[in-house]
Amino acid sequence: MLSERNLTRCFVWPIFLVVLFISCIQPTYSLPEEAKELLKLWEVPHGTAGDAPPIIHEDKVIMSGGLFVYALEEETGEEIWKYQFEDDNILEGEVFLINGNQVAVAHTDKIRAWNISDGNLEWEFDYKIKELKPRLTGNHIAFNENYGFSGEKNQIFILDKTGSKTYIKKLDVKYSVQNVFYFSNKIYVGQGNTVTGLLTLGRITVLNAQNGDSLWAYNTNKSSVSAAIKIENEILYAGTVGNSPKNTFVALNAESGELIWEHSNSEILTRSFVIGPKYIYIAGVADIYALDKVTGERKWKFDRTSSTLVKPVYLDGYVYHSDHHSLFVIDGETGELVHEEPLPEGGGFFWHVAASSDKIFAQTSNQLIAYQPWHLRD
């Protein structure tokens, strides 16, 4: 069976349906004459894009393409180092983890970690030998001198910066582990339990990061907690996706688990989200919602996208997102589409978007492009 990503790559809208769709829902706006396109600062060609979005660390961009992991100069795109995988597979893990001067990522059969400065491989953790396997589609964490991995089924495991196992924690067997997050000496675990085809239960379990002891749990009957948990100012934000009649997005007290607010409806599906100064921007299957951080009230909805796996980013007042065919620049306050950057000719698809303080990075099927962000345009 084709994966969702492969289906997306193969799927082409009939032209007349695209025109009809866009004409029905496109917001009215007028682009300034001097800003018809984003300024391209540099571009770096590569093989097929891997599943992990680029990550920016200090003056470097860490990214994958083809059989390689690269470190590039953030300012110029110049290659600092690259490492070639020996298992003939593009990167399948969905997140790079930065821990001090080390970057780690889960791959087809191993977790690998490199020295960020020179690209030397520092350790490997072989799944088959260790009989532990991370969920490649899950979210993992780096904290203190450790890495936390959401394992397959109902377990998480912790490795130190030498790749040695610290401990394994098995949770309720009925709930699979979707993602993990670290905050204030606690590990927050997002989980899901599909009871029937029409009912999925979600849970957040909180553990002591030192020994794995359970501290508290938050339960919902509105689908599994599949998007990465995030915490800001001691408030935990998390969203669900599944087959239940309603899905939900919640704000909890990160210390106690007390519910602060809940936003539920039959439409909202949380594939990923990003936190801005006032709003939380939630990427669903084919739309973005903006929720007020204080009340959970929906402020706007942007639905000019088709089904997408791209995770949005926020930078200085604007949300950057893609439907794989265009790069959208969305006003973070109003939800208005202020600019649509077309896919470069021969680019295949947009797969990832990332941001530094003064650049937007868009990774296509075969290149990484650094753009000047909208707020810095001349």
pLDDT in tens, 138-195: 889 999 999 999 998 899 999 999 999 999 999 999 999 999 999 999 999 999 888 8
Higher pLDDT among residues 20 and 115, named by residue: 115
CA separation for the pair 60, 103 (Å, rounded): 12
DSSP secondary structure, 228-281, as one string: PPEEETTEEEEE-BSSSS-EEEEEEETTT--EEEEEEESS---SEEEE-SSEEE
Q: What mean pLDDT value characterizes the chain?
A: 88
Q: Which residue has the higher pLDDT, 15 or 320?
A: 320
Q: How far is CA 204 from CA 78, 221, 224, 251, in A?
A: 42, 12, 9, 12
* Higher pLDDT, residue 3 or 310: 310
Phi/psi of residue 33, each to 5°? -60, -35
Which pLDDT band holds residue 32 (cuts at 50, 70, 90)?
very low
Kindly indicate the confidence band of residue 35, based on its pLDDT and cuts at 50, 70 and 90. Answer: low
Question: In this predicted structure, which of 5-14, 172-181, 217-226, 350-359 has the lowest mean pLDDT?
Answer: 5-14
Alpha-carbon distances of 269 from 39, 199, 224, rounded to whole Å: 33, 14, 10
**Would you say residue 58 has pLDDT above 90?**
yes
Q: Which domains does the chain have, with CATH numbers?
A: 13-376 (2.130.10.10)
Whole-Å CA distances, 377 to 41, 108, 337, 358: 12, 41, 16, 11
Give the integer Cα–Cα distance in Å for 236 and 257.
Answer: 8
pLDDT at 378: 75
**123 pLDDT exceeds 50?**
yes
Per-residue pLDDT reduced to its tens digit, 65-76: 999 999 999 999
Q: How many Å from the N-terminal Cα to the C-terminal Cα in the chain?
A: 48
Confidence band of 26 (pLDDT split at 50, 70, 90)? very low
Mean pLDDT of 310-339: 96
Helix, strand or coil for residue 317? coil
b/e burial code for range 249-264 (CB count within 10 A of at least 16 → b): bbbbebeebeebbebb
Residue that wins the pLDDT comparison between 15 and 10? 10
Identify the pLDDT of residue 86.
Answer: 84
Is residue 6 over pLDDT 80?
A: no
| The dihedral sign for the CA sequence 243, 94, 97, 276 | negative
Give the amino acid at 72.
Answer: L
Angle at CA of residue 244, ends 239 and 245, nearest 5°: 105
Residues 239-282: pLDDT tens digits?
988 777 788 999 999 999 999 999 988 778 888 999 999 999 99
* pLDDT at position 21: 35
Q: What is the pTM of this model?
A: 0.88
Mean pLDDT, residues 106-131: 92
Q: Is 223 helix (H, G, I), strand (E, B) or coil?
A: coil
How would residue 3 be classed by pLDDT, with cut points 50, 70 and 90?
very low
Q: Would you state the pLDDT for residue 195?
A: 86
Cβ(243)–Cβ(199) below 8 Å = yes
pLDDT digits (tens, 9 = 90+) for 85-105: 987 788 989 999 999 999 999
To the nearest whole percent, how much of the chain has pLDDT over 90? 69
Q: Which residue has the tokens 């296509």?
A: 364
Q: Tokens for 18?
A: 């695209």
- CA–CA dist 311, 83 (Å, integer): 25
Q: What mean pLDDT is predicted for residues 312-330?
A: 96
Average the pLDDT over 319-330 and give the result.
96
Which pLDDT tens digit goes with each residue over 211-232?
A: 899 999 999 888 888 778 999 9
